[in-house]
Amino acid sequence: MHGRGWWHRRFTNHGIRMTQSREAIIDVLNGADGHLTAAEIYLKAHELNPAVGLTTVYRTLDILTEMGVVYKFEFGEGKARFELTGESTDRDHHHHLVCMKCKRIIDYSDMLGEERAFIEKIQAKLAERYDFEIRDHFLRFNGICGQCRNGSNNINFKED
Amino acid sequence: MHGRGWWHRRFTNHGIRMTQSREAIIDVLNGADGHLTAAEIYLKAHELNPAVGLTTVYRTLDILTEMGVVYKFEFGEGKARFELTGESTDRDHHHHLVCMKCKRIIDYSDMLGEERAFIEKIQAKLAERYDFEIRDHFLRFNGICGQCRNGSNNINFKED
DNA sequence: TTGATAATGAAAATCATTTTCAATAAATAG
DNA sequence: CTATTTATTGAAAATGATTTTCATTATCAA
Ligand SMILES: [Mn+2]
Ligand SMILES: [Mn+2]
Ligand SMILES: [Zn+2]
Ligand SMILES: [Zn+2]
C-alpha cells in the first residue's frame, strides 16, 4: 500500500531511525494477516534477517503501537497480539469475535457503517463528559464458536 | 445484594465447594469498587483470613470468571483486573475509558440504553452470520485524560 | 566521511500466572 | 454427629512473556 520511503520518512521525521531490523519487522506485519504474537513476528523477521533479535521485536512493536501504526490486543492468552491498523494497510478497521473455548479469533467488519456512526456519536459525548481525548476503541464479543458448540472441535487453535 | 446462602448454593449446585478462602475472596470483590488485580485481591482477602493463599485467589477468580460472576479485564498493564458483573451487584453493566498515559480507568454507563440497543442488534446479526453464541462483550476507549493532557499530572495512578 | 548517539542483540532479571504435591477441609451418606 | 470420599488448599518450584542491562554497532545529519 505504501512504498518503502513512506515508512522511512515516517520514522525519521520523528527523530527515530529506520533500521534493518525494523524494516524486517514491518515487512512481516505487512505480509501477515494479523493477530501475531511477538514471538511469531520474531520468528518470521529473524528468517528474513537473522540479525533481528526478539528484544528488538518487542521494542519496535512498542514504538509502532505508540505511533498508532499497529494495534496491540490481549485476548486472554497471557500474551499480546499485534496487527497493523487500517492506516497502513488496505484492510478495513474491524472488531473481533473470540471463542472462549478454542481461542479462535474472527475478524468482522460487516457492521462497519453502522458501528462507525454509533461509535463516533458515543465517542463525542464521552470526550466531552469526561474530558477525555479518545484515540481509539476496541469492541470484542466473547462466546462459543459453532465448531466448539457441537463438539466437532477437539483441537485448540491457539494451543491453549 | 445477596445473602451468604446465595453464593453457597450457587457453588454447591455445581458440585463446587464453598470454602473459607473462597468466601473471603468473594467478600473482597463485593466490598471493592472494581478493577482489582489478583495480587490486590489476595492482599485484602489475606487480611480478612490469613489462611488464604495467592494460588487460591487465582484459582477462584478463574472459577468465578467461568461462572460469569466476574469480568476479567486486560488493560495492557501485563496483569489482569477483575470486577463483579452486574448479576451479583447493584452496579450497572458498564464500559471503560482508559488513559494511555496514567492508566486511569473510568467507568461509564451513561450511554447504557443506547449502547444496549446497539450491541444487541449487532450481536444478533453476528451470532447468525458467524454461527457464534455470544456470551458477553467489551467495549473500551483508549485516549488521554484531561489531567494528562494539560501536564498537571506527573503521577502515574497505576504505578506503571 | 565522520561524530554523536540511537539502536542493537544476548543474557540476565522481572513478574504475573501456573503447576506440583502432600496435607486439609467440605460435603454427604449413614 | 462421625466417618469417608475427594475437592481444595497453600507453599514452593516452574513457566513463560516481557523488560532491563550493557557493551557493541549502525544510522544519519552535518
Ligand atoms: Mn483482527
Ligand atoms: Mn469497570
Ligand atoms: Zn471455538
Ligand atoms: Zn491520564
Nucleotides on chain D that have an atom closer than 7 A to a protein CB are 7-12, 16-21, 26-29
* Local confidence band at A32 (pLDDT 50, 70, 90 cut-offs): very high
Specify the higher pLDDT residue, A149 or B53: B53
A144 CB near a chain B CB, below 8 Å? yes
Cβ-contact B137, A140 below 8 angstroms: yes
Strands (DSSP E) found in chain B: 70-74, 80-84, 95-99, 105-108, 132-145
Residue A24 sits in the same domain as residue A71: yes
For residue B69, tell me if it sits in a domain. Answer: yes
Residue B134 sits in the same domain as residue B57: no
* CATH assignment of the domain containing A57: 1.10.10.10
Q: Strand pairing of A105-108 and A132-145? A: unpaired
Q: What is the pLDDT along chain B (160 residues), one digit of tens a residue?
A: 565 678 898 898 888 999 999 999 999 999 998 899 999 999 999 999 999 999 999 999 999 999 999 999 999 999 999 999 977 677 778 999 999 888 899 999 877 788 889 999 999 999 999 999 999 999 999 999 998 888 765 544 443 2
Last residue in a domain, options A89, A122, A137: A89
A12 touches strand D (CB under 7 A): yes
For residue B160, tell me if it sits in a domain. Answer: no
Residue B72 sits in the same domain as residue B4: yes
Q: Residue B135 has what pLDDT?
A: 92
Last residue in a domain, options B89, B108, B125: B89
Residue B101 sits in the same domain as residue B41: no
Q: Residue A158 has what pLDDT?
A: 41
Residue B20 sits in the same domain as residue B99: no
B14-53 core/surface letters (b: 16 or more CB in 10 A; e: else): eeeebeebbbbbbbbbeeeebbbbbebbbbbbbebeeebe
* Closest partner CB to A129 (pick from B110, B137, B145): B110
The protein residues having their C-beta less than 5 angstroms from ligand 3 (an ion) are A 99, 101-102, 104, 145, 148
* Local confidence band at A150 (pLDDT 50, 70, 90 cut-offs): confident
Residue A25 sits in the same domain as residue A54: yes
Which residues span the domain enclosing B116?
92-153
Q: Residue B1 has what pLDDT?
A: 58
Residue A108 sits in the same domain as residue A46: no
For residue A160, tell me if it sits in a domain. Answer: no
B128 CB near a chain A CB, below 8 Å? no
Residue A10 sits in the same domain as residue A73: yes
For residue B159, tell me if it sits in a domain. Answer: no
Could you tell me the distance in Å between the CA of residue B17 and the C1' of nucleotide C27?
8
Residue B1 sits in the same domain as residue B44: yes
Last residue in a domain, options B39, B73, B89: B89
Residue A84 sits in the same domain as residue A103: no
Q: Residue A113 has what pLDDT?
A: 83
Q: Report whether pLDDT(A87) > 90.
A: no
Torsion angle (degrees, nearest 10) of CA B104, B108, B114, B117 = 80
Rounded to the nearest angstrom, the distance between the alpha carbon of A148 and the centre of ligand 3 is 4
For residue A116, tell me if it sits in a domain. Answer: yes
* CATH assignment of the domain containing A101: 3.30.1490.190
Q: Residue A84 has what pLDDT?
A: 93
Q: Residue B160 has what pLDDT?
A: 29
How far is the C-alpha of B39 from the C-alpha of B43, rounded, in Å?
A: 6
Q: Report whether pLDDT(A92) > 80.
A: no
Residue A98 sits in the same domain as residue A48: no
For residue A159, tell me if it sits in a domain. Answer: no
Ligand closest to the CA atom of residue B160:
4
* Closest partner CB to B149 (pick from A97, A100, A133): A133
* Adjacency order of strands within the sheet including B95-99: A105-108, A95-99, A132-145, B132-145, B95-99, B105-108
Q: Report whether pLDDT(A45) > 50.
A: yes
Selected residue of B122, B125, B148 to mutate for chain A interface (largest A Cβ count, 10 A): B122
For residue B98, tell me if it sits in a domain. Answer: yes
For residue A158, tell me if it sits in a domain. Answer: no
Number of domains composing chain A:
2
Cβ-contact B100, B143 below 8 angstroms: yes
Residue B54 sits in the same domain as residue B103: no
Selected residue of A97, A101, A106, A132 to mutate for chain B interface (largest B Cβ count, 10 A): A132
Residues 62-101 of B with CB under 8 A from A: 72, 74, 76, 97, 99-100
How far is the C-alpha of B28 from the C-alpha of B82, rounded, in Å?
A: 11
Q: Residue A149 has what pLDDT?
A: 87
- For residue B38, which of B14, B67, B59, B9 has the smallest C-alpha distance? B59
Count of residues making up chain B = 160
* Local confidence band at A144 (pLDDT 50, 70, 90 cut-offs): very high
Residues B126, A108: C-beta atoms closer than 8 Å? yes
A110 CB near a chain B CB, below 8 Å? yes
A43 touches strand D (CB under 7 A): no
Residues ≥6 apart with Cβ < 8 Å to A84: A29, A30, A34, A69, A70, A71, A91
